[in-house]
Every structure is written in structure tokens, then in C-alpha cells.
């Protein structure tokens, strides 16, 4: 049972599927995702992200969970 997954891993490695893991991990994000203000970030983290992706955008009500604009739970 472990031989088949090991062979698939070796095949993928030789084909180059693991060369740019950092780039592949960022493919799913839109530009707005990188600019959203995150309430849990420290000032240093917020500054680093602002320098890399532009000024932070305010999230819409309920975007990080919690209540919607009318106060109802989502």
C-alpha cells in the first residue's frame, strides 16, 4: 500500500510539480484577499503586508465571521 503513493510522489517530484510550492500556494488568492485588513494582525504584520500588496482595505461587515450589517448572525 505504501509503494504506490511513494512511486506517485517520486514521479511528481521528477516532473517538477514541487518546484514552486510558494507560488502554488498563493494561486488561490485574489488581490483583494491580500489587501483585506485582518483584526488579529499586529502593526508590524500589517505594515509588511501593506508594503507588499498595497494599503489595507476595510472588510465588509461579517467578512471575518460574526454579525452581518443588520446585526443578524450569518
What global pTM score does this model have?
0.53
C-alpha 61/C-alpha 74 separation (Å) is 10
Mean confidence (pLDDT) of the chain? 85
CA 41 to chain CA centroid, nearest Å? 14
Dihedral angle sign, alpha carbons of residues 51, 54, 57, 63? negative
Summarize pLDDT for 27-44 with one digit per residue, the tens. Answer: 888 888 888 888 888 999
Least-confidence region, from 6-15, 44-53, 63-72? 63-72
What is the 8-class DSSP label of residue 38?
A: -
User: Percent of the chain having pLDDT more than 70?
Assistant: 88
Residues 6+ apart with CB under 8 A from 55: 35
**Residue among 55, 19, 23 nearest 37 (CA):** 55
Amino acid at each position: 500500500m505504501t509503494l504506490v503513493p511513494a512511486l506517485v510522489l517520486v514521479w511528481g517530484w521528477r516532473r517538477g510539480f514541487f518546484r514552486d510550492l510558494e507560488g502554488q500556494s498563493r494561486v488561490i488568492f485574489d488581490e483583494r484577499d491580500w489587501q483585506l485588513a485582518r483584526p488579529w494582525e499586529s502593526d508590524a504584520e500589517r505594515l509588511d503586508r501593506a508594503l507588499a500588496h498595497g494599503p489595507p482595505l476595510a472588510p465588509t461587515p461579517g467578512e471575518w465571521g460574526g454579525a452581518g450589517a443588520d446585526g443578524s448572525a450569518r
